[in-house]
Structure 1
Amino acid sequence: MRQGEQMEHVLDFRNVDKGSIASVGGKNASLGEMIKAGIRVPPGFAVTTQSYLSYITESGIKDNIFAILAEMNPEEVDSVNAASEKIQELMKQVEIPQDIKGAIEQAYDRLCRECETKAAPVAVRSSATAEDLPTASFAGQQDTYLWIEGKDNVLEKVRDCWASLFTPRAISYRVKNNFPHEKVLISVGVQRMANSKAAGVMFTLNPTDGDRSKVVIEGSWGLGETVVSGTVTPDKFVIDKVIMEISERTISRKHIQCIYNPDGGGTIDTDVSEDMQNQCCLEDREIKELVRMAKKIEAHYGRPMDIEWAIDKDIPFPDNIFIVQARPETVWSQKSSGPKIGKKSGYQLLMEQAMKRIKIP
Structure 2
Amino acid sequence: MSAQPLIAFFKDIDKGDLSTVGGKGANLGEMTQAGFTVPNGFAVTVLAYDKFLEENNLSLLIRNILKTTNVHNPEELSEASRKIQKLIVNGKIPNDAAQDVIKAYKRLSGFMKHALVAVRSSATAEDQPGTSFAGQQVTFLNIKGEANLLNAVRDCWASLFTPRSIFYRVENKIPHENVKISVIVQKMIQSEVSGVMFTIDPVTNEKDKIIIEAVWGLGEMIVQGSVVPD
- 1:226 and 2:221 aligned: yes
Q: SS at 1:142's partner residue?
A: coil
- 1:79 and 2:76 aligned: yes
**1:126, 1:186 within 8 Å by CA — same for their partners in 2?**
yes
Identity of aligned residues (%): 50
- 1:205 and 2:200 aligned: yes
Q: Partners in 2 of 1:232 and 1:135 — Cα distance?
A: 25
Shift of 1:208: 4.7
- 1:182 and 2:177 aligned: yes
Shift of 1:3: 4.6
Amino acid of the residue matched to residue 194 of structure 1?
Answer: I
Shift of 1:233: 3.3
Q: TM-score, normalised by structure 2?
A: 0.95
Amino acid of the residue matched to residue 40 of structure 1?
Answer: T
CA deviations 1:194-226 (Å, max 9, x no partner) are 110111112223445433333222222111123
- 1:215 and 2:210 aligned: yes
Amino acid of the residue matched to residue 153 of structure 2?
Answer: V
Q: SS at 1:127's partner residue?
A: strand
Unpaired runs of at least 5, structure 2: none
Unpaired runs of at least 5, structure 1: 236-361
Q: Partners in 1 of 2:57 and 2:88 — Cα distance?
A: 11
Q: SS at 1:196's partner residue?
A: coil
Residue 137 (structure 1) aligns with: 132
Mapping of residues 21-36 of structure 1, within 5 Å: 21-36=18-33
- 1:14 and 2:11 aligned: yes
Shift of 1:230: 3.7
Shift of 1:74: 2.3
Amino acid of the residue matched to residue 130 of structure 1?
Answer: A
| Alignment match of 2:90 (pick from 87, 93, 98) | 93
CA deviations 1:79-127 (Å, max 9, x no partner) are 11111111111112211111100000000000001xx422111111111
1:202/1:171 CA distance change after superposition, 3 Å: same
| Alignment match of 1:170 (pick from 142, 156, 165) | 165
Amino acid of the residue matched to residue 154 of structure 2?
Answer: R
Mapping of residues 29-108 of structure 1, within 5 Å: 29-108=26-105
Amino acid of the residue matched to residue 3 of structure 2?
Answer: G
Q: SS at 1:45's partner residue?
A: strand
Q: SS at 2:76's partner residue?
A: helix
1:105/1:203 CA distance change after superposition, 3 Å: same
Q: Which has the higher strand share?
A: 1
CA deviations 1:303-348 (Å, max 9, x no partner) are xxxxxxxxxxxxxxxxxxxxxxxxxxxxxxxxxxxxxxxxxxxxxx
CA deviations 1:256-288 (Å, max 9, x no partner) are xxxxxxxxxxxxxxxxxxxxxxxxxxxxxxxxx
Q: Partners in 2 of 1:230 and 1:208 — Cα distance?
A: 16
Choose 1 or 2 for highest CA Rg: 1
Q: Provide the aligned C-alpha RMSD in A.
A: 1.5
**1:200, 1:228 within 8 Å by CA — same for their partners in 2?**
no
Amino acid of the residue matched to residue 178 of structure 1?
Answer: K
Q: Of the two structures, which has the highest relative contact order with CA contacts closer than 8 Å and spacing of 6 or more?
A: 2
- 1:159 and 2:154 aligned: yes
**1:42, 1:194 within 8 Å by CA — same for their partners in 2?**
yes
**2:135, 2:223 within 8 Å by CA — same for their partners in 1?**
no
**2:81, 2:162 within 8 Å by CA — same for their partners in 1?**
yes
Q: Partners in 2 of 1:67 and 1:165 — Cα distance?
A: 16
Amino acid of the residue matched to residue 219 of structure 2?
Answer: G
Q: SS at 1:35's partner residue?
A: helix
Q: SS at 1:75's partner residue?
A: coil
Q: Partners in 1 of 2:41 and 2:35 — Cα distance?
A: 16
Q: TM-score, normalised by structure 1?
A: 0.61
Residue 3 (structure 2) aligns with: 4
Q: Partners in 1 of 2:139 and 2:151 — Cα distance?
A: 13
